[in-house]
Structure 1
Amino acid sequence: MSEAKVSRLLILDDEKVLVDILCRIVNECGYEARGAYDHDTAMAIAREFEPDFFLTGFCNSCDKNGCESIAELETFLPQCRNVLFSGTASAAPFIEEYFRRGYEFQVFAKPLHPQDFLNWMRSHGATARAVAKKAVPDQQQSAEKSGESGTDSEREMVKKKSRFSFLSRKNK
């Protein structure tokens, strides 16, 4: 039986912390992710890495906006699914213009929660590798003592949720 190809994601944004955190989360969830902080680097990585998905911000503090990056990437990776995320309403006319010109890409508003993006990827055919469970003795012992029940996948989901709780949608 052959194993499915693991989906690849390229992330472009000028917010280095955002790119690095998203890459880490995506990699830990069984996908392959690479990040870039400017257009030229992203295009060089895309040519070598050949991502299945491309996530870019609209304003990337470089000479090209996210729509222009998507347009260039489509010239050599037409099968790549493109996603643009923006936190500014001023991007709307540019996005509409690219839609009129025939470009197709998903648009998300910032802030984009990692789980929402992972769900979107899965709904669009993303394939992850099996992720090895990490033994966390303290959590396992406390769960056993409290009589916690549930399937292995339910317990793993709780661990992932707590691991990324600092990315909560709500500010406390």
Structure 2
Amino acid sequence: MKTVQAVRRVLVLDDEQVIANSLALILNRSGYDARAVYDPESAIKTARELSPDILISDVFMNGMTGIDAAIRISEIAPHCHIILFSGQAATPDLLERAAADGYHFELIVKPVHPRALLDRLRRIH
């Protein structure tokens, strides 16, 4: 008997709309329920409504960082798995500060190939 797995809700946050929309499209076509948002405040608001299973977020954006947004979203949806992606050298320092406060997030370095991202998402339980 085949078990039916629930569709995972994914929130994609990137201030570059083309990237956010492209990732959400790839995820939706791969069986996820993905939504793209373009700023951290919208991501937090959407997380309250959506209660995502996974957040995929850029780190550096205008105003609030993706790490700050991830911390807020993890408080809203504690079950949410957080994946941050960045091409910036300063990202590990910010992740260390978050870890010192008890928040542990996964980092993927940009650019990320869609197949590699989908493989990573499949390994999340």
Range class of TM-score, shorter chain: over 0.9
| Larger Rg over CA atoms | 1
Distance 1:32 1:40 in 2: 20
Matched residue of 2:90: which SS?
helix
Distance 1:48 1:87 in 2: 30
Distance 1:85 1:50 in 2: 20
Aligned residues: 124
**Percent identity between the aligned chains?**
34
Distance 2:5 2:30 in 1: 15
Could you say which structure has the higher strand fraction?
2
Q: Are 2:15 and 1:11 aligned?
A: no
Unaligned runs of 5+ in 2: none
Counterpart of 1:58 in structure 2: which amino acid?
Answer: V
Residue equivalent to 1:93: 93
TM-score, normalised to structure 1's length?
A: 0.69
Unaligned runs of 5+ in 1: 126-172
- Deviation track 1:61-104 (CA, whole Å, cap 9, x = no partner) reads 2x210110111011110010001111110222111111122111
In the TM superposition, structure 1's runs of 4+ consecutive aligned residues that sit over 2 Å from their partners are: 1-4
Contact 1:11-1:33 within 8 A present in 2 as well: yes
Residue equivalent to 1:65: 65
Q: CA RMSD in A?
A: 1.3
